[in-house]
Structure 1
Amino acid sequence: MRNEETVDELRAHDLRIIQQRHGYRFSLDPLLLCAFAGGGRAERVIDLGTGSGIIPLVLARQDAQATFVGVEVQKGMAELAERNVALNGLSERIGIVHEDIVGLRKRFPVSSFDLVLSNPPYRKRGTGRVSPKAGRDEARHESTATLADFLAAAKYLVKPTGRICFIYHPGRLPDLFAEAAGLKLTPLRLRLVHGTRDAEARMVLVEFVKGRKGELRVLPPLIVRGDDFTYTAEVVAVLGE
């Protein structure tokens, strides 16, 4: 481990995660996405914008048979994800690809995966505050790839009737649905994430499918903290605390 890094434990998943001490660190959001996407059988899974590799690492612990790919455009983060995969003894089932989202067609054949996940950047270029911490702006702001690029890549990569699960900012939900409709991706499930019961939604979880129709199910809201501001039972279960 380097001086500018920490090693954090996710004991519920028997994982140790190397992270930048002062740079980008994963939040609750990818863990909520893993819980939202879980439950269905998927032999091949890809995570678009994997960061430190947290999503494939967690899902690999939940499914001992599936194989995973994490895609990351930042070279330093891709190298960190590879180290995390090796640290947890999962190199045979998780591959990390250093690539821009728009370049994935040259890497993988069409319809290669059963499940595509992503926690893509949700701020448009030139909006929001600039973070002084390394890697955070790339994780939050669209840089080389836009929302349209992430959805187009997901559609290309997923098998017919396969699933696409995103966690995204609710303020851009109209953009998400408009882009998905243009690609003929059908939304099947939607769940809003609220910090507290009375707060506005801070994130939204959405599942799309390629190649079949269906009605949208709007699930009960996910509340992160209760009236005493401690984690709710559902979030505790996600964290495994």
Structure 2
Amino acid sequence: MPATIDPTAKTYDAFLGGAVYVHQPERGRHRAGLDAVFLAAALPDGVSGDVMDLGSGVGTAGLCAAARLSEISVTLVDIDQLILDLARDNLKDPGNATFAGRVRILDADITAKGDVRHAAGLLPDMTDHVIMNPPYYGADKFRASPDAARAEAHMLDERGLDPWIRTASDVLKPGGTLTIVFRADGLPEILETLKGRFGAIQVLPLFPHPGAAATRILVRAVRGSKAPMQLLPGVTLHASAGGTYTDLAESVLRHGKGLNLFKNG
């Protein structure tokens, strides 16, 4: 008989070398790690305005962004009530006190239809930047976890990325930026869903170590732009297979540095 998962069990984890502290589920739901930190680091130094983290979970990416960028306000958006309770705990945590006042939480379903989203507070043209770390797996390709909450955190429904990109396009101001971290083999789906909504697409591969194929990508796009796509030089995370982090990865993960690799801010 499989072990019973305690949905209330949690861990207390430090990010950015102790600049951010996060309560997150021990098991049974998505646990934040490298992807969330690199997503936050993709926002360029000096950026200002409103940042919305769609499908924020406990808020790790948004909190890391707020800790590094003093001129932004962050909205964390999720619908999982247990996760939102942990996000609220994170905003109350003394370790996050220097920036938590610039972060708020919005309980809303980002995959809902427009009128439902708008009623929940996801309004058109309301934010300057969107960041997102959507579930990586589609229901048509991977077997879902028997735990419903875990399955929801890790798997897109039959609509794929389209509701996520549609909502991002709706809430962003014209000229606003969308940044996504996703599986590298999901790039075709990203490009298809961005079509007609976003341009100036830039793709930054993340390589596990030298000689390895990229397993993750960061994608940045601009709402309403017609500029062509660019494939950027990638980032290598480890000096060797199973080895230590590269200097760049270490600076992002441990010291809270921005990547500053996307062109034109």
Shared topology, TM-score over 0.5? yes
- Alignment map for 1:163-178 (pairs within 5 Å): 163-178=177-192
Structure 1: distance between partners of 2:73 and 2:158: 27
* Larger RCO, structure (CA 8 Å, separation 6 or more): 2
Structure 2: distance between partners of 1:19 and 1:134: 17
Change (3 A) 1:60 1:145: farther
Kept in 1, the 8 Å contact 2:209–2:237? The answer is: yes
Structure 2: distance between partners of 1:92 and 1:196: 38
Change (3 A) 1:144 1:50: farther
Are 1:36 and 2:42 counterparts?
yes
Aligned to 1:180: 194
Structure 1: distance between partners of 2:138 and 2:57: 19
Are 1:22 and 2:27 counterparts?
yes
Are 1:81 and 2:87 counterparts?
yes
In structure 1, the gaps of 5 or more residues are none
Structure 1: distance between partners of 2:137 and 2:168: 19
Aligned to 1:213: 226
- Alignment map for 1:64-213 (pairs within 5 Å): 64-87=70-93, 88-89=96-97, 90-101=99-110, 102=112, 103-106=116-119, 107-131=121-145, 135-143=149-157, 146-181=160-195, 183-213=196-226
Are 1:51 and 2:57 counterparts?
yes
Amino acid at match of 1:93: R
TM-score by length of 2: 0.82
Following superposition, the deviation at residue 240 of structure 1 comes to 1.8
Task: Name the SS for the 1:69 alignment partner.
Answer: strand
Amino acid at match of 2:9: E
Kept in 2, the 8 Å contact 1:42–1:115? The answer is: no
Amino acid at match of 1:116: V
Task: Name the SS for the 2:135 alignment partner.
Answer: coil
Following superposition, the deviation at residue 96 of structure 1 comes to 1.3
Q: Of 6, 9, 26, which residue of structure 1 is paired with 2:11? A: 6
In structure 2, the gaps of 5 or more residues are 1-6, 256-265
Following superposition, the deviation at residue 208 of structure 1 comes to 0.7
Deviates more, 1:205-214 or 1:135-144: 135-144
Task: Name the SS for the 1:77 alignment partner.
Answer: helix
Residue by residue, what CA displacement relative to the aligned partner does 1:52-94 show, whole Å, maximum 9, x if unpaired? 1001111111122321111112111111111111212355321
Residue by residue, what CA displacement relative to the aligned partner does 1:213-238 show, whole Å, maximum 9, x if unpaired? 22322211111111261111111001
- RMSD of equivalent CA atoms: 2.2
Kept in 2, the 8 Å contact 1:191–1:206? The answer is: yes
Following superposition, the deviation at residue 11 of structure 1 comes to 4.9
Structure 2: distance between partners of 1:170 and 1:81: 28
Aligned to 2:238: 225
Change (3 A) 1:43 1:162: same
Kept in 2, the 8 Å contact 1:116–1:158? The answer is: yes
Structure 1 runs of 4+ aligned residues shifted over 6 Å read none
Kept in 2, the 8 Å contact 1:187–1:216? The answer is: yes
Structure 1: distance between partners of 2:183 and 2:246: 21
The share of aligned pairs that are identical, in percent, is 26
Task: Name the SS for the 1:92 alignment partner.
Answer: helix
Kept in 1, the 8 Å contact 2:202–2:220? The answer is: yes
Structure 2: distance between partners of 1:187 and 1:177: 11
TM-score by length of 1: 0.90
